[in-house]
Amino acid sequence: MSETRMVQHPGPTEAARVSALPCRAVHRRVTLPAGATLFEAMTEAADGAGAWFDLTDLPVEKLTFVRPAPSPDDRHVAWYSAESELRDAVIERAGAHLGRRDGAAFAHIHGMWRAEDGACHAGHLLAEKAVLSADHTVDVWLLEGAMLETEPDAETEFTLFRPVATGPVDNPNAVLGAIRPNEVIEDGIEKCAAVSGSSVSVVKGLGSFVGTQLQGQPALMDIATEVLLFGENGRCAISVGLEGPPVRGELTARANRVCVTFEVLLLSQME
């Protein structure tokens, strides 16, 4: 994949390529209880707020996930695969945006998980179909002043998360943003960060790329890849394409463009 590779969506191109709002992110350590679905546990922990969850080494009785797949029509650039289910698995690393859809809580989760036989899988995890097998403590950033809410998107013809204001923000320390198709991910992050006026120390985010290029890893050439960014500077990624195993490593600089959307939480300081 060359760094100039782009994708053509069916709808009109929006002039603004990012939407972003300053907010306050408050870090907490919370315990997600055994027997609950991941969705139930996260919504209980967030108590109505928007949030980002870091999910690491989380044991699950079962989980269900999808990965990218070819579009069944000419109105979308890609779609989702059939669901796959694992039993007695471990979510090795995942990130979750918790927001709102049609007035109710809604979660968007990407990451990598290990099956009981040791095989690694990655993609888009369905939180309401993941059941926790043990109490497990995770890191969460609860958001004040903004959250993600879904809305129909004319450009991509998907329903996508966008940041919305939820109230006044005292002493913002974060930016909640969504980046549109064909933006180089570094450019999109910089445009989101510009709304705050403070330096960004941590990048958390997930979405899709037009293929993926990571340093020292085979390039994924698919039209769409599911991606999780992690690491303090957001330079590390887990990605999976239409087929084959996931890849994990550091982003090749300025070589990865957004496919459908990319949702980010940019932190200016860590507690």
Q: 131-159 pLDDT, tens per residue? A: 999 999 999 999 999 999 999 999 999 99
216 shares a domain with 152 = yes
107 shares a domain with 77 = yes
Task: Single out the residue in 97, 116, 141 at which a domain terminates.
Answer: 141
Predicted pLDDT of residue 106: 98
The domain total for the chain is 2
Q: In DSSP terms, which residues pair with 178 in a beta bridge? A: 19, 263
Is residue 99 situated within a structural domain? yes
DSSP state of 34: T
102 shares a domain with 170 = no
Question: For all residues of the chain together, what is the average pLDDT?
Answer: 95
134 shares a domain with 150 = no
Q: Is the dihedral of CA 77, 80, 82, 87 positive or negative?
A: positive
Q: In DSSP terms, which residues pair with 85 in a beta bridge? A: 64
Q: Examine the pLDDT at 109 and tell me if it is beyond 60.
A: yes
Strands 104-114 and 120-125: antiparallel
CB 89 within 8 A of CB 236: no
Q: Which residue has the higher pLDDT, 19 or 200?
A: 19
Is residue 211 situated within a structural domain? yes
Rounded CA-CA distance 2/230 in Å is 23
In the predicted model, what is the mean pLDDT of residues 242-249?
A: 96
127 shares a domain with 77 = yes
Domain of 29, in residue numbers = 25-141
When mean pLDDT is compared across 136-150, 177-191, 228-242, the lowest value belongs to: 228-242
Q: Which residue has the tokens 């990624």?
A: 237
Output the domain CATH number for residue 250. 3.30.1330
Task: Single out the residue in 113, 141, 169 at which a domain terminates.
Answer: 141
Predicted pLDDT of residue 1: 40
In the predicted model, what is the mean pLDDT of residues 218-238?
A: 93
206 shares a domain with 119 = no
Is residue 7 situated within a structural domain? no
Predicted pLDDT of residue 270: 57
163 shares a domain with 56 = no
Task: Single out the residue in 115, 141, 167 at which a domain terminates.
Answer: 141
152 shares a domain with 137 = no
63 shares a domain with 104 = yes
Q: Examine the pLDDT at 2 and tell me if it is beyond 80.
A: no
Position 4 confidence tier, pLDDT thresholds 50, 70, 90? low
